[in-house]
Amino acid sequence: MKATVINYGVGNLFSISAGLKRVGFEVSVNSQPEGNEDLIVFPGVGSFNAVASYLSSHKELLKDLRKSGTYFLGVCLGMQIMFEEGTEGGLTKGLGWFKGKVDKIENNGKDKLKLPHIGWDKLIVTDLTCPLTEGLNNQYVYYVHSYVAYPEDESIVRATTIYGIAYPAIICSDNIVGTQFHPEKSSKIGKIFLGNLYRWMKK
């Protein structure tokens, strides 16, 4: 299966490409979708406003591909921009595929919460029937972020992680998948997730 990793012009795209290749995808990196791929990947590099403005120039094309059944994977920021709006770098509109906003991780004040949240935390799978979450419950995955998604529709959440608050770690709706963690940086567990995605798409 073919995957296109979208190059917004900044950051490391090697890791996500290598991670996808390792589980069987044929990967290319391009500044826009090629139109014939099975999976379009929004990598987790850059800042919300920069990436959102970049993607908004392809908004119609992305919408058409999404409707035609092309799969999408958004990683970290790449997932966040699928929501309606984000506050990082000033209030910016996202793609609006999911209802809700992206904002700083709330601190309930009990602990001094270090931000950015950098490191390994456990996934709590909230939908054990979802093929994407197989083998992931209670496993450590790697995070680097200060912002999280606050979805209006909780039913899209397949797994959460707790850091101050419980926030969405894996979301899925129809052909759109998003992860707040970095599967390409999460060693063996990240590979399991990407393998799950590959098999799920193949069915």
Q: Name the residues that contact another protein, by CB under 8 A.
A: 10-12, 14-15, 17-19, 22, 45-47, 77, 112-121, 140, 142, 144-146, 163, 184-188, 190-191
- Is 76 a known active-site residue? yes
- Is 182 a known active-site residue? yes
Which residues are CB-contacts of 192 (< 8 A; sequence separation ≥ 6)? Answer: 134, 135, 136, 139
Q: Are the beta carbons of 55 and 21 closer than 8 angstroms? A: no
Task: Pick between residue 49 and residue 70 the one whose CB is nearest to another protein.
Answer: 49
Which of 37, 76, 145, 172 is labelled catalytic? 76
Which of 117, 145, 172, 182 is labelled catalytic? 182
Task: Pick between residue 95 and residue 194 the one whose CB is nearest to another protein.
Answer: 194
Task: Pick between residue 9 and residue 35 the one whose CB is nearest to another protein.
Answer: 9
Question: What is the DSSP secondary-structure string of 38-88?
Answer: SEEEE-S-S-HHHHHHHHHTTHHHHHHHHHTT-EEEEETHHHHTTEEEE-T
- Is 184 a known active-site residue? yes
Token look-up 């926030």 returns: 167
Least Å distance, CB 153 to another protein, is: 27
Which of 37, 145, 172, 184 is labelled catalytic? 184
Catalytically active residues, by annotation: 76, 182, 184
